[in-house]
Amino acid sequence: MIPAEKIIVALDTQDPVICTDLLHSLSSSKVWVKIGMELFYAEGPRVIHEAKALGLNVFLDLKLHDIPQTVASALKALSRLPIDMINVHAAGGLEMMQRSYEVLAGLNKRPLLIAVTQLTSTSEEQMQREQRISGSIQDSVLHYAHLAHQAHFDGVVCSPHEIKLIKENIGSTFLTVTPGIRPAGVESHDQKRITTPREALALGTDFMVIGRPITGAKNPREALETILQGN
Ligand code: C5P
């Protein structure tokens, strides 16, 4: 069995009708929903209120990346929304992450603050050639995770294959949020290094992000229930 509280369903749509249908099919399930750039830029804060009204926890996945002052100000504005998790790019730097934490730390109740390390769409060869970072992807992910931890972040987005490395080096309570999840027998789409929900759970994930296997199913609630059964 997979705990529903560990599943974050990625609402990657800009269609308000599809979004509302999905939210209703997920309500009462205890899963989280992820509202990313596509949906937030199309529909704005309204969808966050809609999800919260249905009792769903919200991860606002905007991957902020700018100078420290701008990111801190953006977080201040976004923190007025009823969100439970938010993220920034670790590549924005330690100072940017520290300023991000300071803004949220001043709130009565703050959302979990998560850093994006290396995107799972970035290959090692591409990272070395384009970002001029030598070493392995794992080294870079761990380095960014250390910086995020230093800035008092709650955790990082990473591949399920990096959970062990991060937990062993930083600590078991440092959260890992892992996309690239595919139930056995389901199409992998553009995800390259995938694990099943059961494998991700065994690897120690705190939150698994699952999109198309649920949102693209004929009956999303049924697809979710099948995943929760550990299939
Ligand atoms: O449909 P699928 O399960 O592939 O959706 C995964 C979600 O996780 C998408 O919203 C994607 O943008 C996001 N994501 C990812 N890899 C990352 C960071 C975020 O797939 N490294």
pLDDT by residue (tens digit) across 174-214?
999 999 999 988 888 887 778 999 999 999 999 999 999 99
- Helix spans in 12-60 (H): 16-26, 37-43, 46-53
Mutating to test ligand 1, I would choose from 14, 18, 158, 209 the residue with most ligand atoms within 8 A of its C-beta, which is 209
Kindly list the structural domains of the chain, giving each domain's residue range(s) and its CATH number in brackets, ordered by start. Answer: 4-228 (3.20.20.70)
The protein residue with its alpha carbon nearest to ligand 1, atom 2, reads 211
Torsion angles phi and psi, residue 55, rounded to 5: 80, 20
Are 75 and 55 spatial neighbours (Cβ–Cβ below 8 Å)? no
Are 75 and 49 spatial neighbours (Cβ–Cβ below 8 Å)? no
pLDDT by residue (tens digit) across 21-43?
999 999 999 999 999 999 999 99
Q: How far is the CA of 108 from the centre of ligand 1 (A)?
A: 30
| The pLDDT value given to residue 231 | 66
Question: What rounded mean pLDDT belongs to the chain?
Answer: 96
Helix, strand, or coil (residue 36): strand
pLDDT by residue (tens digit) across 122-149?
889 999 999 999 999 999 999 999 999 9
The protein residue with its alpha carbon nearest to ligand 1, atom 18, reads 119
